[in-house]
Amino acid sequence: MKCRKCKAPAEVSLPSHNTAFCRECFSIYFTRQVEKAIRHHSLIKYGERVLVALSGGKDSLGLMLELSRLEYDVTGLHVDLGIPVSSPAARAKVEGFCERHGLKLHVVELAKHGLPIPDVKQYINRPVCSACGKIKRHWFNRVALEGGFQVLATGHNLDDEVARLFANTLRWDAGYLSDQGPCLEAESGFARKIKPLYRLTEFETACYAFINGIEIHTAPCPYSSGASFTGHKQLWANLEYTSPGTKIAFYDGFLKRGRPAFALVDQETGAPLAPCETCASPTSTGVCGVCRLGITVAERRAADPGRQPGPGKD
Amino acid sequence: MITVFIEPDNETMTFVRLNTVLMLQRRLGLRVNDALVIRGEELLTPDCQLKDGDQIRVRKVMSTG
């Protein structure tokens, strides 16, 4: 297989684009996809400070590297979930990556804020992935606003976005369908949220990480087995295999024709937001969901005889 | 014999007869873009020939949370 551009031996085959690239031409293709996303959706202006959420995986670290190469003013944010074994490993990858590339990094430790994810799993009666996502999004936004960042960037790729859109569509969730997309403008206490990798698949971001020698955290979260998200991704991988190009067509079609319609519906039904009474994050319920989680976890932890401080315990 | 190390499962498999990367992917039940197929520092496309003694890494790309 030859590179479509320079005819050198190809290293990356992309059936969705009916093409293949050598590693040099693939890097150019990757950069152009990111630039196209930024340009078409006005994601970032030069001079703006960008906070990049870093999990330690291929997508977030690849995004950070690419944005820094495009000379955007980027700072990494890692949320240490406090999960034994898994979280220290992920954090080490993020810290090593930022040190190697001379990139700024801010770390939030959930244990210091009373919400380590193992406690959330133990004391909160709802799917832990849902609560964990809520807590992470809370801290992404809070650090962005408190740190004076104009933009919050996440490494969501095309597979993530299509799986999420599919899940939202299965529920006909007008609220989420009204604002899913590569850019969510800043408003009502929220920083502008962007997804510059939305045009690139997981395979492409994995190739980019490999080609650029990025050491990534690959172990799956010990709490995420059975997540419906993974099943949806499998389903879409089958569709893409039989009809290459289906994912980007579905997502682009939604952005052009679906989202505007749902945005109109949400304007009529969306609840007004006000600052949380405890942390000032925007909420429609007085005290925000994450502060309520914190209160519940603290109460149940205090009432748990297995967690009482005593001889032999810290 | 071709030795294949599968990530993130940390599983090693050996195959006696495998001519191409595509054959390997089919034997593992993987679609073309489900995983990186790596030999040394090189990424392999599905048409690449495999040869006896190859050490191959298969890195699945789907993140699960």
* Residue B51 placed within a domain: yes
Helix (H/G/I), strand (E/B), else coil: B23: helix
pLDDT value, residue A206: 97
CA B3 – CA A302 distance, rounded (Å) = 53
With an 8 Å Cβ cutoff, are B34 and A206 in contact? no
* Residue A295 placed within a domain: no
Whether the CB of A121 is below 8 Å from some CB of chain B: the reply is no
CA B6 – CA B35 distance, rounded (Å) = 9
Q: How close B65 gets to chain A, by Cα (Å)? A: 6
* Residue A255 placed within a domain: yes
* Residue A233 placed within a domain: yes
Task: Tell whether the model's pLDDT for residue A305 goes beyond 90.
Answer: no
| Pairs of CB atoms within 8 A across A/B | 77
Task: Tell whether the model's pLDDT for residue A246 goes beyond 90.
Answer: yes
* Residue A38 placed within a domain: yes
CA A153 – CA A191 distance, rounded (Å) = 10
Whether the CB of A13 is below 8 Å from some CB of chain B: the reply is yes
Q: Which residue in the set B8, B36, B47 is minimally distant from A219, CB to CB? A: B8
Query: pLDDT band at residue A314, thresholds of 50, 70 and 90?
Result: very low
* Residue A102 placed within a domain: yes
- Provide the number of structural domains found in chain B: 1
pLDDT value, residue B63: 77
* Residue A98 placed within a domain: yes
With an 8 Å Cβ cutoff, are B62 and A23 in contact? no
Residues of B in contact with A129 (CB under 8 A): 65
CA A52 – CA A61 distance, rounded (Å) = 9
pLDDT value, residue A271: 73
Residues of A in contact with B47 (CB under 8 A): 1
ipTM of the modeled complex: 0.95
Task: Tell whether the model's pLDDT for residue A258 goes beyond 70.
Answer: yes
Query: pLDDT band at residue A175, thresholds of 50, 70 and 90?
Result: confident
pLDDT value, residue A310: 45
pLDDT value, residue A312: 40
pLDDT value, residue A71: 97
* Residue A27 placed within a domain: no
CATH number of the domain encompassing residue A259: 3.40.50.620
* Residue B36 placed within a domain: yes
pLDDT value, residue A218: 84
- Provide the number of structural domains found in chain A: 1
A27-50 pLDDT, tens digit per residue, is 999 999 999 999 999 999 999 999
Two structure tokens written together for B7: 């990530």
pLDDT value, residue A313: 39
Whether the CB of A12 is below 8 Å from some CB of chain B: the reply is yes
Q: 């949400």: which residue's tokens?
A: A266
> A245 CB contacts (<8 Å, ≥6 apart)?
A16, A17
Q: Provide the residue range defining the domain that includes A146.
A: 34-217+229-272
* Residue B65 placed within a domain: no
With an 8 Å Cβ cutoff, are A218 and B8 in contact? yes
Q: Provide the residue range defining the domain that includes B16.
A: 2-60
Whether the CB of A219 is below 8 Å from some CB of chain B: the reply is yes
A73-103 pLDDT, tens digit per residue, is 999 999 999 999 999 999 999 999 999 999 9
CATH number of the domain encompassing residue B33: 3.10.20.30
A118-170 pLDDT, tens digit per residue, is 999 999 999 999 999 999 999 999 999 999 999 999 999 999 999 999 999 99
* Residue A81 placed within a domain: yes
Q: How close A213 gets to chain B, by Cα (Å)? A: 10
Q: How close B64 gets to chain A, by Cα (Å)? A: 6
Q: How close B16 gets to chain A, by Cα (Å)? A: 24
Task: Tell whether the model's pLDDT for residue A289 goes beyond 80.
Answer: yes
Two structure tokens written together for A111: 């244990």
Closest Cα partner for A279 from A150, A152, A186, A142? A142
* Residue B27 placed within a domain: yes
Task: Tell whether the model's pLDDT for residue A269 goes beyond 80.
Answer: no
| 3-state per-residue secondary structure call for chain A | CECCCCCCECCEEEHHHCEEECHHHHHHHHHHHHHHHHHHCCCCCCCCEEEEECCCCHHHHHHHHHHHHCCCEEEEEEEECCCCCHHHHHHHHHHHHHHHHCCEEEEEEHHHHCCCHHHHHHHCCCCHHHHHHHHHHHHHHHHHHHCCCCEEECCCCHHHHHHHHHHHHHCCCHHHHCCCCCEECCECCECEEECCCCCCCHHHHHHHHHHCCCCCCCCCCCCCCCCHHHHHHHHHHHHHHHCCCHHHHHHHHHHHHHHHHHHHHHHHHCCCCEECCCCCCEECCCCCHHHHHHHHHHHHHHCCHHHCCCCCCC
